[in-house]
Amino acid sequence: MKNDSDTIHVKVVVTETISGYSAEFDPKIIDVDDNDSILSFRLVSPTPDNVVIDKVRIKQVGQDQLSKPSISQNGKRAILSDENTVQGQFNLQFTFKQKGTAAAALARTADEECKEESDEYPIIINNPP
């Protein structure tokens, strides 16, 4: 019997642009194969030190697989759990801001112009055991 949840780590690189922020996720597509998995998103270099996560929104309203995202006190990590009991696809929308400011900007991924709504990264794909 497994005693602890599987943790999937996702690296996030954020760059400031004229219109706000651009974010790259590694991996962009997160395959979840175990029940009760933990998804951990962490800002990594070369993300500027003054940029933090402001909010994370689950685009699929009313879903019951993903928990409400929790953002660390320093704003560098977001964590949520995934029950992974139902097969499906979920999208997260990240908002970033500078430390100590109230203003936040929605992150745009680098290839946003050619994406459809369902392809907004990161994508979580549930594959229950």
In this model, does residue 1 exceed pLDDT 50? no
Structure tokens at 111: 């290839």
In this model, does residue 28 exceed pLDDT 90? yes
Q: What is the pLDDT of residues 36-92, one digit of tens each?
A: 999 999 999 999 999 999 999 999 999 999 999 999 999 999 999 999 999 999 999
Distance CA 128, CA 82 (A): 10
- The mean predicted confidence, pLDDT, of the chain is 87
Query: Measuring CA to CA, how many Å separate 28 from each of 5, 25, 62, 73, 82?
Result: 21, 5, 23, 25, 17
Distance CA 20, CA 104 (A): 8
pTM to 2 decimals? Answer: 0.86
In this model, does residue 108 exceed pLDDT 80? no
How much is the pLDDT for 105? 65
How much is the pLDDT for 88? 95
- Mean pLDDT, residues 108-123: 57
Q: How many residues does the chain have?
A: 129
What residues does 52 pair with on adjacent strands?
A: 97
Structure tokens at 18: 């004229």
* 113 φ, ψ (degrees, to nearest 5): -60, -30
Number of CB atoms found within 10 A of residue 92's CB: 23
Domain boundaries, the chain: 7-126
Domain 7-126 annotated CATH 1.10.3300: no
Distance CA 66, CA 57 (A): 11
